[in-house]
Structure 1
Amino acid sequence: MNKASLIEKIAEKASVNKKQAESMLESLVDIIISELKEGNEVTITGFGTFLARTRHARGGVNPQNPSERIEIPEVKVAKFKTGKTLKDALKGKLDQAPQETNEYTEGE
């Protein structure tokens, strides 16, 4: 599924137009990125937790010259830990995802 398909699904599920759904999705992504950059975790209960971790510097091998050792610098990476509801759904323990979606109304 790509972004456009996801926007269509959100619009349908939340009973909003595609422009509103796109705005909601982009807002969610912006908030998650902003929080991760500040070093915070973002938890959506049952779904999972987005977090940023530092991958420490380490030695490696130059792929273009395998006899040459290189230093790979420290870098921040995004991680995602799945929540129990998502894990259970993927294992087939749930018939379908929870249906607690409230309809979106303008101004909320």
Structure 2
Amino acid sequence: MNKSELVAAVAEKAGIASKDADAAVGAVFETIQATLANGNDVRLIGFGTFGVSHRAASKGRNPSTGVEVDVAARNVAKFTAGKGLKDAVNSK
């Protein structure tokens, strides 16, 4: 499912116009992104938790040449599924 399909499904399920659903879905994504950018977590009980994890600098290897390269430290977004989501996925 891509974003436009998600917007259509939300519009149908909520009984609202696609334009309003698009604004709502966009606002949710923007809010999650801004919260993660500030280093905070987004906890949705029963669904899961969006968080930020730090990856330390490391050494990597170019697979085609074998040359060792430095991989910079960075923050990455992560998602941990909650019990409700896990149960829903495993029930079908």
Does the alignment reach a TM-score above 0.5? yes
Provide the rounded CA distance (Å) in 1 between the counterparts of 2:84 and 2:62: 42
Runs of 4+ residues over 4 Å off in structure 1: none
Q: Which structure shows the bigger proportion of residues in helix conformation?
A: 2
Counterpart for residue 77 of structure 1? 76
What percentage of aligned pairs have identical amino acids? 38
Query: What is the number of equivalent residue pairs in this alignment?
Result: 92
Q: What do the CA deviations read for 1:11-61 (whole angstroms, capped 9, x no partner)?
A: 011111000000000000000000000000001110000001111110111
Q: Structure 2 stretches of 5 or more lacking a match?
A: none
Q: CA deviation at 1:2?
A: 1.0
- The answer to whether residue 23 in structure 2 is matched with residue 23 in structure 1 is yes
Q: Structure 1 stretches of 5 or more lacking a match?
A: 96-108
> In structure 1, what residue type is equivalent to 2:75?
K
> In structure 1, what residue type is equivalent to 2:25?
L
* TM-score, scaled to structure 1: 0.81
- Return the index of the structure with the highest Cα Rg: 1
Counterpart for residue 40 of structure 2? 40
